[in-house]
């Protein structure tokens, strides 16, 4: 029996070692079949791509995976477009939105197959994308010709990822009470517990904290601190002094200690939630007096007016007069083709459709808080939806002021939106990142 047990153990070891043979990163010595298709696709117009897609996917099922649920809305519009070129065209589709950062595990697992399930992905968190997906050869970058032309770059020499859009997560507060927030330090004042998606569940929240330590945004935090009253400053000063040494050790700039202090207070106070949806549901109720959250702006669209619930129960902090500091943060949704994509032409065509046409972007563009990476689409989208007047009804009456989206330019320049830079995030992920991990957390 001992021999039998030993043999079984050897068998198991072999099996598990054999099974793990693909953990090693793939070194792309030569172009994979999908990369070869992408190389050709990058020289084609949307219509040319669409014709290739029709040839490839007619009668098939398209599987997409994304951090946004709206891929599901964009796909039927894409199919409609392909049908306009070939009325006999037919394609089934399925769109999945994994939670809790499992999208990376799913893509890695699917990437180990010879032919994957997923044709493409819409994914966030540039930091993880680079190290886990691009360097390991799981995902391939595709830059549509039309998009490159619109942005004045060349597809073959462009080094960045293809961004579908920039999204903003902004501070909003329930305005049914008397409390008022006019400085980003107000959100970390004693007793405040902002509602925020757990940074372990959604690492772009973690990236936002990393970005605050960059010189550019640390200066914004410092300037907001300078605008506080003397008594308010006295509340935060001990924390700033306490982290000054850490800021130095972490190699941060002169204002790094202000950023670290804000991060420390935020980590110790924010009330972690599973998604922005439940946070929005809470903030818009009349019982959530004085509560605030840092959530995706577009969530306001999902609110249905009722006796106890209204979009008018919330205010956008950065829109308030005299607001100081950053009003939220911005991050990108990137588009990639999987390296073992079963439908690479269709994936490229779909990505081109979403990034180069107003209708393709409309699944996101019809609502506030999402801004296309294609300037032509931004202009067309504004012409169609006019989000800067999104709070007005058909008669020109202002009914929901929070819905008047001031646009990405305003948010970055006036609202001091903290924009994610994957390179900076990667550089501090295990220095500032580990420092953040060591902090105490509220309700943990």
Partner 1 sequence: MSKSNASRSGAWSLSFNKLRTFLSKPENVILLLMGIVLTISTISPVVAIIKDTFAIHPGTIDAYLSKKSSGYSTINYTDLFTSRLAVKNLWQPIANTLLLAIGTCIFAIVYGGSFAFFVTRTDMKWRKYLSSIFIFPYIMPQWTLAVVWQNLFNSNAVTGTSNGLLATMGITMPSWWCIGLFPSIMVLGLHYAPFAYILIGGIFRNMDSNLEEAATILNTPRPKTLWRITLPMIKPAMLSTVLLVFGGAMGSYPVPHYLKLATLSTKYVSLNAKYKGEASILAIIMMCLGGAIMIVNQLGLKSRKNYTTVTGKSGQISKISLGKAGRILIACIFVFLTFFTSIFPILSFGFETFLPNPGDYSFLYTGDSSNLTTKWWATSENITENGMYGQKGILYNKTIWSAYKGTLLVSFSCALVAGTLGTMLGYAVSKKRRSKWASYVNSVAFLPYLMPSIAVGAAFFVLFSSDKINLFNTYTGLIIVGTIKYIPFASRSALNSMLQLSGEIEESAIIQDIPWTKRMTRIIIPIQKTSILSGYLLPFMTCLRELSLFMLLCTQGFILSTTLDYFDEMGLYAFSSGINLLLIVTLLVCNGLVNKLTGASLDSGIGG
Question: Given the complex with partner 1, which of 65 and 343 has the nearer CB atom?
Answer: 65
Distances (CA, A) of 414 to 229, 320, 326: 22, 12, 9
The nearer residue to partner 1, 99 or 245, going by C-beta atoms, is 99
135 or 412: CB nearest partner 1 = 135
Structure-block tokens of residue 135: 């360097």
Q: How far is CA 9 from the centre of its chain?
A: 45
SS (H, E, C) 160-181: CCEEEEEEEEEEEEECCCCCCC
Please state the closest distance from residue 355 (CB atom) to partner 1, in A: 19
Report the DSSP beta bridge partners of residue 139. 338
CB of 409 to partner 1, least distance (A): 25
Residue 369 burial by CB count (10 A; 0-12/13-18/19+): exposed, middle or buried?
Answer: buried
Closest to partner 1 by CB, 208 vs 225, is: 208
**In the complex with partner 1, which residue's Cβ is closer, 25 or 238?**
25
For the bound state, the minimum distance from the C-beta of residue 182 to partner 1, rounded and expressed in Å, comes to: 21
Q: Which is nearer to partner 1, 258 or 435 (CB)?
A: 435
- 337 contacts 137 by C-beta, under 8 angstroms: no
In whole angstroms, how close is the CB of 237 to partner 1 at the nearest point?
25
| Neighbouring C-alpha atoms within 13 Å toward the C-beta of 269 | 20
Burial of residue 14 (CB within 10 Å: 0-12, 13-18, 19+) is exposed
Beta carbon of residue 15, minimum distance to partner 1 (angstroms, whole number): 5
Instruction: Determine the longest span between alpha carbons in the chain, in angstroms.
Output: 85
> Min. distance of Cβ 272 from partner 1 in angstroms?
7
């Amino acid at each position: 029996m001992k021999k039998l047990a030993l043999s079984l153990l050897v068998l198991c070891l072999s099996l598990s070692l054999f099974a793990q043979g693909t953990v090693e990163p793939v070194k792309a010595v030569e172009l994979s079949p999908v990369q070869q298709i992408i190389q050709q696709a990058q020289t084609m117009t949307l219509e040319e791509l669409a014709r290739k897609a029709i040839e490839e996917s007619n009668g098939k099922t398209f599987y997409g995976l994304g951090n946004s649920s709206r891929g599901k809305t964009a796909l039927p519009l894409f199919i409609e477009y392909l049908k306009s070129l070939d009325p006999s065209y037919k394609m089934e589709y399925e769109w999945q939105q994994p939670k809790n950062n499992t999208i990376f595990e799913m893509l890695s697992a699917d990437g180990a197959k010879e032919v994957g399930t997923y044709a493409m992905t819409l994914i966030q968190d540039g930091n993880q994308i680079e190290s886990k997906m691009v360097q390991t050869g799981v995902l391939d970058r595709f830059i549509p010709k039309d998009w490159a032309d619109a942005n004045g770059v060349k597809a073959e020499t462009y080094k960045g990822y293809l961004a579908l859009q920039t999204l903003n997560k902004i501070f909003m507060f329930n305005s049914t009470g008397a409390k008022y927030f006019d400085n980003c330090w107000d959100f970390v004042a004693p007793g405040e517990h902002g509602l925020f998606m757990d940074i372990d569940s959604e690492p772009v929240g973690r990236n936002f904290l990393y970005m605050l330590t960059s010189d550019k945004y640390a200066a914004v935090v410092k300037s907001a601190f300078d605008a506080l009253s003397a008594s308010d400053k006295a509340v935060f000063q001990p924390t700033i002094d306490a982290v000054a040494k850490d800021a130095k050790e972490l190699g941060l700039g002169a204002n790094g200690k202000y950023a670290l202090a804000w991060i420390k207070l935020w980590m110790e106070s924010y009330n972690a939630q599973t998604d922005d949806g439940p946070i929005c549901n809470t903030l818009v109720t009349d019982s959530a007096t004085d509560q605030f959250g840092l959530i995706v702006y577009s969530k306001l669209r999902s609110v249905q007016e009722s006796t106890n619930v209204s979009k008018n129960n919330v205010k956008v902090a950065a829109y308030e007069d005299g607001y100081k500091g950053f009003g939220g943060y911005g991050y990108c949704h990137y588009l990639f083709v999987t390296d073992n994509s079963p439908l690479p032409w269709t994936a490229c065509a779909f990505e081109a459709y979403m990034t180069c046409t107003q209708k393709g972007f409309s699944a996101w563009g019809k609502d506030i808080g999402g801004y296309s990476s294609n300037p032509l689409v931004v202009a067309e989208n504004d012409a169609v939806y006019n989000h800067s007047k999104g709070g007005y009804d058909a008669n020109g009456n202002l009914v929901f002021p929070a819905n008047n989206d001031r646009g990405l330019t305003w948010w970055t320049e006036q609202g001091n939106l903290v924009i994610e830079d994957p390179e900076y995030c990667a550089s501090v992920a295990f220095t500032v990142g580990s420092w953040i991990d060591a902090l105490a957390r509220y309700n943990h």
